[in-house]
Amino acid sequence: MERDVIITEVALRDGSHAMKHQYTVDQVVDVAKALDLARVPYIEVSHGDGLGGSSLQYGLSATDEFELINAAVSVCKHAKISVLLLPGIGTVEDLKKAANLGAKMARIATHVTEADVSKQHIMVAKELGMETVGFLMMAHMAPINTLVYQAKLMESYGADTVYVVDSAGTLLPDQVRERIKALRNNLHVNIGFHGHNNLSLAMANTLVAIEEGATRIDGSVRCLGAGAGNTQTEVLVAVLDRLGLKTGIDLYKMMDLAEEIVAPILPIPQEITKGSLVLGFAGVYSSFLLHSITAAKRFGLDPRDILVELGKQKVVGGQEDMIIDVASELAKQKTNAI
């Protein structure tokens, strides 16, 4: 089926953060089956921090992620299952295991200045016959020329697509425009965009990315993702249809599954709270929110102060242990000031 924009549904991976990584097999089966019936082409299933992410540092999964991947593969007749891997968290063996279970796409995610660590994993994914994606996280933290250089590294390793990833939901539309345009002008592979809604700009940023040539776009049904969630898939499908762009996705089925299957499993409604708003304001990784709320309760702090300080220190994904360190130091300063 011809599609102008190819959507990857990330609620079963990015949404794992909002679910505190407590997805069950039954939940994944119900959501994946409904997404497949709606003809969503790619569904990502992993721990929120990718393969191997289940840990005390990142959050323990209720169910082994390979069981969830296997369950999703087993019920999808049309959709391809994708997995995310962050080198240093996930391993090549994890990638091989996911491929053996039937995962067809591997998205290798690094900090925007660290694409060189993706080489082995992208090349192994290609050898396994998987579609490969380079995923440049925290894209706001690097100048344009650095972003282009890092993206070209991923392209040289064999990535079929390279993504600009607004992990903090902090980019403004013009900033997305210049980043996507720069990649489009310098790369020969597909360009993708992954947004977060912490400043209520996920949809606007996604549309700008598409205008500038991004053809691979992420969405999360019912906005189920870290922070205030991602670009809302069912809304995106409707908007693109209004624009005359083909996604191949059944809008009514997306509306129904969002309302009847996903909404009932949400721990809380996905909305822009003061916590998720400050993520976008401070430019902090969206998955830090729940960890910061927990740390704030422990140390008697306002989680916003923790997140703003993390932003000042330019903490990136993979440094979740810094949340406790920052909270502890802020608590000491608060005590000394009294």
Average pLDDT, integer, range 133-153: 97
CA proximity to 261, closest of 218, 228, 222, 220: 222
* pTM to 2 decimal places: 0.94
> Is residue 50 domain-shared with residue 109, that is, in the same domain?
yes
Is there a contact between 195 and 184 (Cβ–Cβ < 8 Å)?
A: no
| Catalytic residue list | 17
Report the number of distinct structural domains present in the chain: 2
Is the confidence at residue 338, as pLDDT, over 80? no
pLDDT at 143: 97
> Is residue 72 domain-shared with residue 176, that is, in the same domain?
yes
Angle at 95 between CA 156 and CA 141, to 5 degrees: 50
d(CA 268, CA 290): 12
pLDDT at 253: 98
> Is residue 257 domain-shared with residue 297, that is, in the same domain?
no
d(CA 155, CA 315): 26
203 is a domain residue: yes
CA–chain centroid gap for 54, Å, is 16
Name which residue leads in pLDDT, 334 or 179.
Answer: 179
270 is a domain residue: no
pLDDT at 319: 79
For residue 274, the tally of other CB atoms under 10 A from its CB is: 10
Is the confidence at residue 274, as pLDDT, over 80? yes
Tens of pLDDT along 287-306?
Answer: 888 889 999 999 999 999 99
Domain endpoint, select from 229, 264, 299: 264
pLDDT at 66: 98
Where does the pLDDT of residue 17 fall: very low under 50, low under 70, confident under 90, or very high at 90 and above?
very high
- Percent of the chain scored above 70 by pLDDT? 99
Is the confidence at residue 9, as pLDDT, over 90? yes
Give me the chain's average pLDDT, please: 95
DSSP state of 73: H
> Is residue 21 domain-shared with residue 153, that is, in the same domain?
yes
> Is residue 106 domain-shared with residue 44, that is, in the same domain?
yes
Please tell me the number of Cα atoms within 13 Å of 220 on its side-chain side: 28
Tens of pLDDT along 196-211?
Answer: 999 999 999 999 999 9
> Is residue 146 domain-shared with residue 226, that is, in the same domain?
yes
63 is a domain residue: yes
Where does the pLDDT of residue 317 fall: very low under 50, low under 70, confident under 90, or very high at 90 and above?
confident
d(CA 266, CA 270): 8
Is there a contact between 161 and 135 (Cβ–Cβ < 8 Å)?
A: no
pLDDT at 315: 87
254 is a domain residue: yes
For the annotated binding site for Mn(2+), the residues are: 14, 194, 196
Is the confidence at residue 156, as pLDDT, over 80? yes
Average pLDDT, integer, range 142-167: 98
109 is a domain residue: yes
> Is residue 244 domain-shared with residue 298, that is, in the same domain?
no
> Is residue 96 domain-shared with residue 228, that is, in the same domain?
yes
Tens of pLDDT along 62-79?
Answer: 999 999 999 999 999 999
Average pLDDT, integer, range 30-51: 97
Q: What is the CA radius of gyration of the chain?
A: 19
CA proximity to 165, closest of 120, 119, 227, 221: 227
pLDDT at 282: 93
> Is residue 159 domain-shared with residue 307, that is, in the same domain?
no
Is there a contact between 232 and 184 (Cβ–Cβ < 8 Å)?
A: no
For the annotated binding site, the residues are: 13-14, 167, 194, 196, 285
Tens of pLDDT along 99-141?
Answer: 999 999 999 999 999 999 999 999 999 999 999 999 999 999 9
pLDDT at 158: 98
d(CA 163, CA 166): 9
Please, what is the angle between helix 274-282 and helix 288-299, to 10°? Answer: 110
280 is a domain residue: no
CA proximity to 275, closest of 289, 287, 254, 295: 289
273 is a domain residue: no
Average pLDDT, integer, range 140-156: 98
- State the CATH number of the domain containing residue 318: 1.10.8.60
> Is residue 315 domain-shared with residue 169, that is, in the same domain?
no
For the annotated binding site for substrate, the residues are: 13-14, 167, 194, 285
Q: From start to end of 169-306, where are the E strands?
A: 190-194, 216-219
> Is residue 240 domain-shared with residue 312, that is, in the same domain?
no
Structural domain for 327, as ranges:
287-337
Is there a contact between 330 and 299 (Cβ–Cβ < 8 Å)?
A: yes
Angle at 40 between CA 73 and CA 257, to 5 degrees: 90
Domain endpoint, select from 232, 264, 296: 264
Is the confidence at residue 8, as pLDDT, over 90? yes
> Is residue 187 domain-shared with residue 44, that is, in the same domain?
yes
pLDDT at 223: 97
292 is a domain residue: yes
Burial category of 266 from C-beta neighbours within 10 Å (exposed 0-12, middle 13-18, buried 19 and up): middle
- State the CATH number of the domain containing residue 103: 3.20.20.70
